[in-house]
Amino acid sequence: MKKFAKILGLSALTIGVLTACGESEVKEVDGGAKEETKKEEAPKKESYKVGDTVSVDGMEVTIKSAKFVNPAEYSPSEKGKIIQIEVTAKNNSSANGFIDNTEFTISDKEGNMLEEYYGFDTSFSGEVKKGKQLTGKIAFDVSESESYEIFYEPSFTLKENAEIKFDLPKSELE
């Protein structure tokens, strides 16, 4: 009987874990009035732009602004330029969420992944209670490029396809 109970328990656990590993729900948030949910889902956009709000499993992420800034006095840029983005994360899920600057990465037009810049005393990391929001700044040490791509991929999800991409042309930074 104990063997049967163990097998039943392991089966239930396996089914629960596999169910949680589905695809993440990624959608653009419309700033207007909410409409009834339609049965047909719009295709997922390939990329977004600064100012767009995108929801990943109930966490609405907005890159509010992006600009070139001067480096801190005692922390020079290794690549030549600093891009600073201002991000807002609003938690519309039914549970508390977490967001962190390490969930954001950047690449240049050639596909080179670039590093975060730690010369400023800013932080964008923390728990976001349900219904609340967190705003902060993240800086990247970048080389000269015609455009950049900023990626956001939540750390605390077992779901696939949770990465979103924001296109950032150089013309929008100046």
Three-state DSSP class for residue 13: helix
Band of pLDDT at residue 159, cut at 50, 70 and 90: low
Give 68's DSSP letter.
E
Confidence of residue 160 (pLDDT cuts 50, 70, 90): confident
| pLDDT tens readout for residues 123-151 | 899 999 999 999 999 999 999 999 999 99
Whole-structure pTM value: 0.75
Q: Report the DSSP beta bridge partners of residue 139.
A: 84
Higher local confidence (pLDDT), 65 or 160 = 65
d(CA 144, CA 107): 11
Is the predicted pLDDT of residue 54 greater than 50, yes or no? yes
Judge contact between 100 and 84, C-beta under 8 A.
no
pLDDT at 31: 58
Q: What is the pLDDT of residue 59?
A: 92
What is the rounded distance in angstroms from the CA atom of residue 17 to the CA atom of residue 11?
10
Position 81 confidence tier, pLDDT thresholds 50, 70, 90: very high
Average pLDDT for the chain: 81
Mean pLDDT of 91-107: 95
Give the span between the Cα atoms of 51 and 87, in whole angstroms. 10
The whole-angstrom separation of Cα 117 and Cα 114 is 9
Q: Is a pLDDT exceeding 50 seen at residue 9?
A: no
Q: Which residues contact 8 (CB under 8 A, 6 or more apart)?
A: none
Residue type, 16: G
CA 153 to chain centre: 5
Q: Is the pLDDT of residue 3 over 80?
A: no
The whole-angstrom separation of Cα 99 and Cα 91 is 10
pLDDT at position 127: 95
Mean pLDDT of 101-110: 96
Distance CA 102, CA 154 (A): 9
pLDDT: which is higher, 15 or 62: 62
Angle value at C-alpha 48, between 46 and 52, nearest 5 degrees:
145
**pLDDT for the residue 27:** 63
